[in-house]
Amino acid sequence: MADTSPTSPGPEPYRVPDADLDDLASTLAKTMAEVRQHGVILDRLGSEPDPGAIQPPDGAPEAEAADGKKPDGPASVFILALGGKEYAVELAALSDWVNYLFLPVYGREISTSRPWCAHWHEHPEAVARLHALWLAWQQFTDTEAGLSGPSIWHRDHLDQTLAHLRAPDGPFAACTTSATRPNHRVLATPAPEQAGVAA
């Protein structure tokens, strides 16, 4: 027997105003970055110390905890002190922060006075500066930093990093200075002094 009841129209689709879509996309990107950051922290907590991490010089006393035992884990959270898998995990997390938070908010236009490189992760100085900036961001945007934490981060960390990182003679000096002409080149660094060579 066929249904003879009148067909009721489906519910009206919910439409989000375009202005609200930008806010939702921004919130989603920040949430995704936080989730990735939490994953990195969990990975860091569960990983074994890297035997290739920077070790104290021979003869230097090793640090001991208050109970007289040697501490477990890496000697530093700074990316240049990490090696192998730990470095790769930290660089991936840093890349997420740079791509989804730092560049959309603080990227600014590329120009001859503010060069940038899409391959920033291949510039050791850029990796070091951005990682230090990210570590400070984690500290100063935490609720324990207080209400002035973000302001301190901008003044003491972001402004200084941007001034050095994007300076015309900074690590990206040979890279992109116009968005229409992408370029990437890692500049050579001074060679280490050879022992026993007369000056």
Give 32-48 pLDDT, tens digit per residue.
766 666 665 666 555 54
CA distances from 32 to 3, 28, 45, 91 (A): 48, 6, 20, 16
Residue 174 falls inside a structural domain: yes
- Name which residue leads in pLDDT, 132 or 25: 132
- Name which residue leads in pLDDT, 98 or 21: 98
Residues 6+ apart with CB under 8 A from 187: 171, 173, 174
Residue 31 falls inside a structural domain: no
How many domains does one find in the chain? 1
Tell me the average pLDDT across 87-95.
Answer: 91
Residue 35 falls inside a structural domain: no
Residue 20 falls inside a structural domain: no
Residues 6+ apart with CB under 8 A from 136: 153, 156, 157
Average pLDDT, the chain: 77
Residue 64 falls inside a structural domain: no
* Angle formed by the axes of helices 124-140 and 84-97, nearest 10°: 70
Residue 182 falls inside a structural domain: yes
Residue 173 falls inside a structural domain: yes
Range of the domain at 179: 111-187
Tell me the average pLDDT across 182-196.
Answer: 79
- Name which residue leads in pLDDT, 16 or 115: 115
Residue 50 falls inside a structural domain: no
Residues 6+ apart with CB under 8 A from 114: 108, 166
Q: Beta partners for 116?
A: 176
Task: Specify the pTM.
Answer: 0.60
